[in-house]
Amino acid sequence: MAFLATSVIEVQTGGSDSNGGGFDATGLPSGVDYSQQSGAQATLTSLSAINASDATKIDVSSIDYSCGIVDIGNFFQMLTGGTPGFYRITAQAGQVWTLDRTCGSTGATITGRMGGALASPGMGGKFCADHGVHKMKMYIKSGTYNLSSAGVNVVGGVFSTAVGNLANKGLHIQGYDTDRTVISSGNRPTINANGYSPTQMFYLNGTVNNHQNLTNMILDGDNQSLTYAAASDGAFYAVLNNVLIRNCDGTAACYAFDVHGCKVEDCNANGFDACRGMTNCWADNCTGRGFNNDLTYTYGTNCISSNCDIGYYFGRYAYLNNCISYNSDTVGFRLLYHEQLNNCIAVLDGTYAYDVYSSDQTNYLRNCASYNAASGRIDVTDYPYDFDPITLSADPFIAAANGDFRLNDAAGGGMLCKRAGLGIPGQLWTPDVGSSMSGIQLLGLVNTP
């Protein structure tokens, strides 16, 4: 009996990468999950040994630990004497544990630990690479995890499913505060590059039927030269939910994800790069493009780019609804082929609010607003179809400089955008132009109206 899809790995700042680190009692007599405590429940010294006649069993010295049925389901990490790695305790009789497979040579004295959380996502990555199973979960408790290595899937290192058992398999990684619930505020765990410059801190590799997702996390690049803070294999089968990425230098903060409720801030790079599906996301103060996809097909709803070089830059087939560009150094929205923007707003852009860099007449603006772009609303050299344009004479936001992008009541400003959007035919309700929430509301930090 090997590890199952119901396997759960736990990472905590007070844990140890020598601990058992996980639990799964599926199909077994109910045990007690000791992985959610920081310290190991059992620490075996060289007084314990692999059974003399059965290499799937461990004879636990009573001096080391008093065994019980509550041990069943916990993971045991073999450190020395046997075959190094993680094992699942499937049965207990007296002072004997039965493991899910053989663990070395019969009679060999060993050391190892049962129970207790792991201490680094990198060691969680090692478990996933060596023993991971499709659909398993890994939880990371709130706290700051400083990298101590740029290595992949090693103690103190970075996490990757590029190789090993979980390549192209389903995986859920979730940060949490005090219990394992998905939260949109509170204390999320922070992974800090801590002076190291790995290619990325998290790399996920899913397939069309087996997505991998990272939820409720903060990735802090510590202003190091990372290619990406988070990246996928580029096939768009990985998801970021409620992830904050900050202080990254390099190509982009994140690459090739679907992103939902995420924020990128203070990065010397692009913000969201090659992301296909984007809802309720915010890119702020990036020296590159807030949202960038030179590839095909991008779908964005309720997103904000503020204080970036270019707000939104797309190659072809981008469809955006209720998105905002604010105070871009150059262009608010830059389009190429077959792009459609509905109910969007561009404010205080350095050149044009909307810029098309193709002579093809395949781009559409519907009910889109603009205000005070330095070079004008649209680059007329290659202009899009511009249906029902809204030209503002005042700033439409309550306090955009402070991250509040709700519409104000100024005549010629927010009032022109309220209930002015393209809605659903036959329905009495008409949406606003622009995002329906302020920047901080996008991330769930305050209640939505």
**pLDDT tens-digit series, residues 164-183:** 888 888 999 999 998 887 76
Per-residue pLDDT at 439 exceeds 60: no
- Which segment of 14-18, 234-238, 288-292 scores lowest on mean pLDDT? 234-238
- Which segment of 119-128, 227-236, 396-405 scores lowest on mean pLDDT? 227-236
Q: For residue 342, which phi and psi values (nearest 5 degrees)? A: -125, 135
Question: What tokens appear for 1 in the block?
Answer: 């009996």
pLDDT of residue 312: 97
**pLDDT tens-digit series, residues 372-423:** 999 999 987 777 889 999 999 999 999 999 999 999 999 999 999 999 998 8
Question: Bridge-partner residues for 152, per DSSP?
Answer: 158
Per-residue pLDDT at 268 exceeds 90: yes
DSSP-derived 3-state class of residue 213: strand
Residue of 305, 315, 322, 412 lying closest to 366 (CA atoms): 322
pLDDT of residue 235: 67
Please provide the DSSP assignment of 353-379 as one string.
EEEE--SSS--EEES-EEE--TTEEE-
Confidence of residue 185 (pLDDT cuts 50, 70, 90): low
pLDDT of residue 158: 96
Domains and CATH numbers, the chain: 16-114 (no CATH), 121-442 (2.160.20)
pLDDT of residue 446: 37
Confidence of residue 184 (pLDDT cuts 50, 70, 90): low
Per-residue pLDDT at 449 exceeds 70: no
Mean pLDDT of 139-152: 97
pTM of the model: 0.94
**pLDDT tens-digit series, residues 328-339:** 999 999 988 889
Mean pLDDT of 283-289: 97
DSSP-derived 3-state class of residue 382: helix
Contact indicator for 218, 230 with CB cutoff of 8 Å:
no
Mean pLDDT of 142-152: 97
State the average pLDDT for the chain. 92
pLDDT of residue 444: 47
Contact indicator for 238, 231 with CB cutoff of 8 Å:
no
Contacts of 433 (CB under 8 A, 6+ apart): 322, 343, 344, 345, 367, 368, 369, 390, 417, 418, 420, 421
pLDDT of residue 440: 47
pLDDT of residue 327: 97
Per-residue pLDDT at 3 exceeds 90: yes
Residues of the chain with pLDDT > 70, as a percent, come to 94
Mean pLDDT of 303-318: 94
Per-residue pLDDT at 348 exceeds 90: yes
Please provide the DSSP assignment of 92-146 as one string.
EETTEEEESS--SSTT-B-EEEESS-BS-HHHHHHHHHHH--TTEEEEEESSEEE
Give the CA count within 13 Å in the CB-facing half-sphere of 192. 12
Mean pLDDT of 78-91: 97
If you count them, how many residues does the chain have?
449
**pLDDT tens-digit series, residues 46-58:** 999 999 999 999 9
**Beta 75-80 vs 111-114: how paired, if at all?**
antiparallel
* Distance of alpha carbon 370 from alpha carbon 220, whole angstroms: 34
Confidence of residue 447 (pLDDT cuts 50, 70, 90): very low
Question: What tokens appear for 222 in the block?
Answer: 């510590």
